[in-house]
Structure 1
Amino acid sequence: MSDVKQWIKETVTGNPVVLFMKGTAQFPQCGFSGRAIQILKASGVDNIVTVNVLEDPEVRQGIKDYSNWPTVPQLYVNGEFIGGSDIMTEMYESGELKSLLQK
Structure 2
Amino acid sequence: MATSDRIRQLVTENEIVVFMKGVPESPQCGFSAGVVKVLDAIGRPYVGINVLDDPFLREGIKEYSDWPTLPQVYVGGEFIGGCDIVRDMYASGELQALFPSESA
Query: TM-score normalised to the size of structure 2?
Result: 0.93
What corresponds to 1:101 in structure 2?
A: 99
SS of the aligned residue for 1:96 comes to coil
SS of the aligned residue for 1:42 comes to helix
SS of the aligned residue for 1:20 comes to strand
Kindly state the Cα deviation for residue 21 of structure 1 after the two structures are TM-superposed: 0.3
d(CA) in 1 for partners of 2:83, 2:23: 15
Residues 14-56 of structure 1: CA distance to partner in whole angstroms, max 9, x if unpaired? 11000000000000000000010000111122x1111000000
Q: Letter of the 1:65 partner, please give it.
A: E
Gaps of 5+ in 1: none
Gaps of 5+ in 2: none
What corresponds to 2:25 in structure 1?
A: 26
d(CA) in 2 for partners of 1:44, 1:10: 23
Counterpart contact for 1:77–1:101, Cα < 8 Å: no
d(CA) in 2 for partners of 1:51, 1:75: 10
> Matched residue pairs, number?
101
Q: How well do the aligned residues superpose, as a CA RMSD in angstroms?
A: 1.2
Task: Percent identity, please.
Answer: 51
Q: Is 1:91 matched up with 2:78?
A: no
d(CA) in 1 for partners of 2:35, 2:100: 17
Q: Superposition pairs for residues 1-103 of structure 1, below 5 Å? A: 3-45=2-44, 47-102=45-100
Higher Cα Rg, which structure: 2
